[in-house]
Each structure stands twice: as structure tokens, then as C-alpha cells.
Amino acid sequence: MKKVIVLLIFAISIPSISQQLNTAVAEEGVIENTEDTLNAEEFENLKAEANKRTSGSERSSQQNKLIKKADEYFEKMWYAEAAELYDLALKKNKKAYTPITLQRAGDAHYFNSEMERAYHWYSALFADFEDELTDADYFRYAHILKGTKRYRKAKRLVGIFNERIAQREGINPTASFEDVKAEIIAKNVTIKNLNINSRFSEFSPMYLRDDQLVFASTKDTAVINTRTYKWNNQPFLDLYVGKTTDSIATIESVQKLSSTLNSKYHEAGVTFSPDHNVIYFTRNNYGKKLKRAKNGVSHLKIYVSEFDGATWSEPQELPFNSEDYSTGHPAMSPDGKKLYFVSDRPGGFGGTDIYVVDVLSNGEFSAPRNLGRGINSTKREMFPFVTETTLSFSSDRAFGFGGLDVYESSFSGDTFSAPINVGEPINSALDDFSYITDDSGNKGYFASNREGGKGDDDIYAFEAAEEKVLEEKLSDIVGTVSDILTKELLPNTLVTLMGENNAVLAEATTDEEGSFLFEGVDTNSNYIVTAKNQEYLLKTEAVSVAEEEQIAMDILLEKLDGLVVDENGVKKVDLDMIYFDFDKYYIRDDAKTELGKLLEVWEKYPDMVIKIESHTDARGPKTYNKWLSDKRAKATRDYLISKGIDASKIYSAIGYGEEYPINDCVDGVRCSREAHQENRRSEFIIISM
């Protein structure tokens, strides 16, 4: 849902709930002050300066200037311009990477549905500052990952997010992302993009009588009116009506609904009384001119108007609106006795919640009631639609396909079932919302900003055929962990399952019989399994899961004590040789694996002090070899220190050149490449433990 739609969805997730709500209400505001008008010449000059070649000090000054101006644009919600300036500033120098700058760069693209660019900056944010990030950051990044179809990466973030907030904030674990994928309700749905869609936004469809469809759009105002909404530089929303046809994708005779209902600001999100003579709709809190709250923001309100057979009456505010928070997205029950709506009023569970009021016989309304934690989450619930037995709504809660997803809940009275994600193809990796159905429940409309549309947000028609349940093939990984020498089974061993890019998918601790189990693992996938026990070396094994119902593993661990050996009265850490490439002194990947074992020994014996001895082969001058081996010894030392070893625990790091070969490959002797490599090594002598 790109840009303009956020007018009606109140809030986009930002690092704290207070920021969410502040941003939410600001998003709804219509900025008309001249001081809030973008200076296009200044913007173009900034970009031109940024593309010039500059010296180091000039570049730093220019970068700071770009970021400062990008921050100004961001705070005014001019996200497209802010995104350009952040991109220019950050690509020049990684020293400008800070949590807030990377986050804003990502958010500026996210708010414009530029998910790949949002992913670029959020991946940098998590790579450099993961320990400093909040629940909301994890949630946003998981949405971006799913919005760019990086589902496996998203699993790790969803798992962490779930662990951090599920218990304290009441997220229903039965509505998990994995559950959505495992049992997708596939109705053989046909989806078609409507002919009324334009290059701007169309959304919020609603039935009017048997043969008409009302919706919100910016289309005609783009031609006849240059007034625009500053966030996205698009015209304001008005209500339109068209005639449905036998073709599911064709709406004819489209015109504005009523000049009485449409103002010079935003109108959208309608619902009708059962006889279709009363309309409820969402509008900026508009009178003779735009009203603002104390913080300068224009909130949303619900208005009502009656049809006398010829014209609509002047719209009136509903009594439960407020100048201090937003109320919108009305949805009337089929019997006309309940009006559901969305609000970010105080006392809710998250960004926006769904509420309901009783429509009384005298035309008044009961006090609003929150539908409760069963329906509402810590995120945004919005765009409700009600049939006699089902509540449909959209939410960006943690466990969806990406962006806003459509959910359904069956109800009886005021009791609602746990919401179920309706699955693909209604839901996509981006935003899917404004979902309505006809009386049969097999036809309807929804809006989406998915790939392949005509504009920012398009309305789609859908028609469902026979229902069937598709079950994704899953497998289990079961195994044991035991001692490599004694074969003794090892309880209390931490076993970790990792997927793509070493993302942690699950953890288990072996039971008294040394057994572990990972259930519901995707088939036709590759995984890494690690086993860690305090008395043993970390073991890593790869496993491929085909379509078997169960994969069995037997993991054998080597005792840490076995690495400490006594050679002729000298204690050493007995690692496989730390080899170096010819004439080089950088630490190879295979060397890092062996040095990892040394780090584990240190973990068990934190007072251990060692000295490092490095050796070369006999090729090359002796003086050079002495210099090279010394470089290798110090490279090994520096690597260990970089991994957290106190420098005082390394007594010395000395290179001995070719002085102490371990085979007969000395000067003048022809040897194979492998034989020479044996002499290029580092050894670890224990001084004390």
C-alpha cells in the first residue's frame, strides 16, 4: 500500500509505541503552510553537490549537510526526498552509519513501499547494531524481509520477535507465520485487476445496493485540482461510485458520489445502513476549514449522512470522535445494530484497534467497546468488514506474509474465534486490505499494492471456487549426542538448528538419554546442526532434508580435555595444524575453525596462558622466512585477541622461520607442496593453567 493509503491506516511501526502514535497522527495531517513547502531548487542543488568529487574534509561536511537535510525532510514526512538524500549521504562513507540514520534511511524507503532499498539499509542496521535494537525494529525488519520474499531470513526475526514480546503482550502463537504457510486455505481463487484503477490510489471498495460499488480514489482530482497531500505529492481522496457488470473486473459509469460528501480534503472508507439510505465514512476532521489538534495534526473522524431519495444531507460527526485521536474505517453489521470502527484512542492494545458501538433505536450510540486481545494485537488492526457470522480485517501483526494481511474471525454475539490468515492469493508479500465479500462469501473485492498493479494501490475482484486444504510437506530431525570415544550419551547438550546464512531456526536441549528433536522442518532444504556441551568441543554438521518423514542424526563430540596433551614434558593445545598459504600470513578459514577449538579450551580454562610459535618451510631466504613466521605468529595472536582473549593470556608470539621443521624438507631437498605445507604451522605451548 504505497504512501497515500497510510492516511487511513493511522500508524506505521516505528521504534516505540509513542513514536508510532505521533507519526500516525502526523501522517493523517494535511500540510498547507507555505513554510512546509518543499524547496525544489534547494533539493536539486543538494543532489548536484553530492555528486561532485570532493576531498576528505569537504566530503565529511557535505555528508553531514545531506543527513541534516534528510532528517528535516523525514520529520516532515517527505519520505521520497529524504530517501534520496540518505542514499547519497550513506553511500559515500560508512562512518556515517548510526542506528538512527540507517533506520530512517530504511523507513523512508519503507513508507514509499520501496522494499528492496528498505532491505538494503535495514540489513546494514542489523549487521552493525543488532544488540541496540528494539522489538519494533525486529518487527519492521521481519516485514521488510517478507515484503522482499526473503522468507527464510524472516523466520529468525519472527522467532526472536515472538520470544521477546509474545508472553508479555499476548500474541497468539497459533497464528504464527509457520502455521500460515503449513495450512493455507486455497479456494482456487481468480483475481482480476479492475478497469477503474489508475496510476494513483484506488481502495476501500464497498457495495451500494445490488449493482453499485463505492470506492476511494484520487483519479479525477489529479486532472482538475493541483492541491496535493504533501507526504506523497498525490491529490486528495474522494468517494466515487460505479455500476457493477457481469464481468468481475469491469465497473461502468464511474462518477463522484456526491459533492455534499466530498470535501477538498480526504474522504474514504464507507459503510451503509441495511437500506443503503445512511452512509458512514471517514474524513479529516473538517469544518469550514481544516481543524487541528494541539500538536498541529489533523485527525480522522467518522461522519454520517442520510439520503432522501435525491440528495445526501450535510454530513455530521459521530459523537465518539475526538480532536485528540483518530476514529475511522466504519463497518456496519448486516442488521444495522452494530457499527465497528478503528481508532488509536488511549487504552488500546497497540497501534490501532477495532472497536464496536451499538446503534440504538433512537439513533444514538452506546459507548465504544474494544473487541479485545483475541482480535486486537500490539500492532495495527484496521479495515473491518462484517457479515452475519464473520469479521474480516487487515493487520500487520508479526506472523503474516508481509505488510498488511487479511484475517477472518467467526463470531457469535461478542465472542470471536482466533483470527485466521486467509492465505494466498488474497494475501501477498506487500499490503492487502479493504477486503469485502458478497452474501455468498465467494466473491468480493480487496485492495493491494502488490507487484503488477497499475498504480500505488489497486482494487482487485476475486471469485472463489471449491475449497481445499493444501498441506506443506514437513519433516522431523531426530538424533542423539554422545562421546566420540566412550559412546556415552550426553544429556543437557544444547543443539541448534540453523538455516540460510546461519540464521537460528530452533534450539533444543538433549534429554537424559542424549536425544533431541526438531519437528516441522521444511523439506527439500539444507540445514546446519550444532551441538555444544561445556565439557566438549563444539560440533557442527550439515544435514539435507528431502521428503522423508524423519531424519536421524548421531552427533559425536570430542572432549575438551583431550586437546591438552603432554609432549616430552611440554603441555600443548593439540590442534590440527594452523596452516598458511605460501608467502602469506593471513588467517585462512580452515585455520579459524581450529582456532575456534583453542577459544573453547580457553572458555574452560580462563586462566590459561600460552605462547605462540610459528614456523615456515625451507623455501626462500632464511632471513625472510624468520620475518614471515613472525608475522604469522602475530597474526594468530591478533586474531585471538579480536575474538575476546585478553592480551595478557598470550605470553609471546614468536616466529622461528625454517629453524624447526617437522619433516626432512630442508634446504636442498626436493619435496612436494603438501610436505612443505606441513612445515608452515603455528603451535600453542601452555605456560600455565
Tens-place pLDDT, residues 345-392: 999 988 899 999 999 989 899 999 999 988 998 889 999 999 998 999
The whole-number pLDDT of residue 602 equals 86
pLDDT of residue 529 exceeding 50: yes
Q: Residues 573-602: pLDDT tens digits?
A: 877 777 777 777 788 888 888 888 888 888
Lowest mean pLDDT among 59-73, 432-446, 459-473, 587-601: 459-473
pLDDT of residue 675 exceeding 60: yes
Lowest mean pLDDT among 150-159, 367-376, 509-518: 150-159
Average pLDDT, integer, range 213-223: 74
Residue 687 vs residues 144, 249, 525, 604, 631: alpha-carbon distances, Å:
51, 80, 46, 16, 21
The whole-number pLDDT of residue 162 equals 66
Q: Please list, residue by residue across 146-161, b when 16 or more beta carbons sit within 10 angstroms of its beta carbon and e when fewer do.
A: bbbebbebbbbbbbbb
pLDDT band at 425 (very low <50, low <70, confident <90, very high): confident
Q: How far apart are CA 638 and CA 636, in angstroms?
A: 5
The whole-number pLDDT of residue 391 equals 96
pLDDT band at 448 (very low <50, low <70, confident <90, very high): very high
Q: Residue 547: helix, strand or coil by DSSP? A: coil
- Which of 14-28, 206-220, 319-333 is predicted most confidently? 319-333
Burial of 487 per CB tally in 10 Å (0-12, 13-18, 19+): exposed
The whole-number pLDDT of residue 38 equals 61
The CATH number that domain 474-558 falls under is 2.60.40.10
The residue that leads in pLDDT, 343 or 534, is 343
**Beta bridge mates, 539:** 531
Average pLDDT, integer, range 230-238: 60
pLDDT band at 164 (very low <50, low <70, confident <90, very high): low
Average pLDDT, integer, range 293-312: 79
**∠ Cα 228 234 240 (to 5°):** 95
147-150 long-range contacts (CB < 8 A, ≥24 apart) are 147/115, 147/118, 147/119, 147/402, 147/403, 147/429, 147/430, 148/115, 148/116, 148/119, 148/429, 149/402, 149/429, 150/119
CATH topology of domain 3-166: 1.25.40
| Mean pLDDT score across all residues of the chain | 80
Lowest mean pLDDT among 335-349, 455-469, 509-523: 455-469
Largest alpha-carbon pair distance within the chain? 110
pLDDT of residue 193 exceeding 80: yes
The whole-number pLDDT of residue 423 equals 81
Average pLDDT, integer, range 484-501: 88
The whole-number pLDDT of residue 15 equals 27
The whole-number pLDDT of residue 180 equals 40
The whole-number pLDDT of residue 228 equals 43
- Which of 132-141, 582-591, 655-664 is predicted most confidently? 655-664
Q: Which three cell numbers stand for residue 667?
A: 634446504
pLDDT band at 45 (very low <50, low <70, confident <90, very high): confident
The percentage of residues in the chain with a pLDDT greater than 90, rounded to a whole number, is 29
The whole-number pLDDT of residue 420 equals 83
The whole-number pLDDT of residue 399 equals 67
Q: Residue 634: helix, strand or coil by DSSP? A: helix
The whole-number pLDDT of residue 288 equals 39
The CATH number that domain 190-471 falls under is 2.120.10.30
Average pLDDT, integer, range 657-685: 86
Ordered by start, the domain boundaries in the chain are: 3-166, 190-471, 474-558, 562-688
pLDDT of residue 203 exceeding 60: yes
Q: Is the dihedral of CA 557, 560, 561, 565 positive or negative?
A: positive
Lowest mean pLDDT among 71-75, 573-577, 650-654: 573-577
Q: Residue 70: helix, strand or coil by DSSP? A: helix
pLDDT of residue 163 exceeding 80: no
445-449 long-range contacts (CB < 8 A, ≥24 apart) are 445/194, 445/205, 445/213, 446/205, 446/406, 447/1, 447/5, 447/202, 447/203, 447/204, 447/205, 448/1, 449/1, 449/2, 449/5, 449/113, 449/403
Q: Which three cell numbers stand for residue 599?
A: 577459544
pLDDT of residue 432 exceeding 90: yes
Lowest mean pLDDT among 75-89, 101-115, 224-238: 224-238
pLDDT of residue 141 exceeding 90: no
The CATH number that domain 562-688 falls under is 3.30.1330.60
